[in-house]
Amino acid sequence: MIRVTTSAIEQMRRSAADGDMASMPLRIAVKTEQDGSFHYAMGFDDQRLPGDEYYNFDGIDLVVSTTSKPLADGMTIDYVELEPGSWQFIFLNPNDPDYVPPEG
């Protein structure tokens, strides 16, 4: 199961509205690079592929492919201010070899 924080849901909703894509699901992709690290991507996508799994978080539809699902299982997507004025989506994924649990 994937979890999405309230902050991330709000930003996803803003991005969908700004891009006139409110009716499209947001595809989340996770792949393993050659060095074993994980690469994350997300974008609005209206394609329906065999095996896609759909989730709904407070009106935001997310889709994950069969290849990404095992890598994304247990992941939390958040939207945080990393530095003053610099907000980004982050992926807290215990499956990722570089994952470090948040402190406190």
pLDDT in tens, 6-56: 999 999 999 999 999 988 999 999 999 999 999 999 999 989 899 999 999
Over the stretch 68-103, which tens digit does the pLDDT of each residue have? 999 999 999 999 999 999 999 999 999 999 998 888
Token duo for residue 4: 């999405």
Strand ranges, E, within the chain = 3-4, 26-32, 38-44, 53-57, 60-64, 76-83, 86-92
Q: Determine how many CB atoms are found less than 10 A away from the CB of residue 102.
A: 9
pLDDT score of 35: 95
| pLDDT, position 102 | 80
Closest by CA to 90, choosing from 21, 28, 16, is 28
Specify the pLDDT at position 22: 86
Q: Give the number of other Cβ atoms within 10 Å of residue 3's Cβ.
A: 13
pLDDT of residue 101: 85
Closest CA to 8 of 80, 99, 83, 101: 80
Question: Looking at the predicted structure, is the pLDDT value of residue 104 above 70?
Answer: no
pTM of the model: 0.91
Cα distance between residue 38 and residue 49, in whole Å: 22
Multiple choice CATH, 3-92, 3.40.640.10, 3.10.150.10, 2.60.300.12, 3.30.1130.10? 2.60.300.12
